[in-house]
Amino acid sequence: MKYFTISILISIVLWLIGQAVPQFSEIADCNFWYITLTLWTALSVVLSKWVAKAALQSPLRFTTAIYGVTLTKMMLTPSIIAVYLVLNHPNPTAYALGVFAVFLAHTIHLVIDSQSTVRRG
């Protein structure tokens, strides 16, 4: 539950930052941006549960889960940007940078949570 709450807070903070930056505010008001933030939050929660479950089973499963999470996020990021580009929405560069910021923030959160899970053992 704590991970879910922090993930939602990360998305809210990223949305607020998007509203505050004038060059990004047009994208932050777009429905596609809301979908992106919601998708990343849901994905992060699901993937963190996978990592937490794997950490309890064996070191090999934990490592495999981390690689799987990384692969999933790295493949999904350009896919989201590609869909945005195909739909010909405004400011594609700003959107791509925003998606990278979302990717980075949620990945940092996942790494910190995974480390604390492993330390608790």
Q: What is the pTM of this model?
A: 0.88
**What sign has the CA pseudo-torsion 1, 109, 117, 69?**
positive
Closest CA to 98 of 4, 7, 5, 25: 25
What are φ and ψ of residue 106, in 5° steps?
-70, -30
Q: Which residue is it, tokens 């991970």? A: 3
| Domain ranges for the chain | 2-120
d(CA 21, CA 111) in angstroms, rounded, equals 27
Kindly tell me if the per-residue pLDDT of 90 is higher than 90: no
CA 42 remoteness from chain centre: 8
pLDDT at 114: 85
pLDDT in tens, 32-86: 999 999 999 999 999 999 998 998 888 899 889 989 998 999 999 999 999 999 9
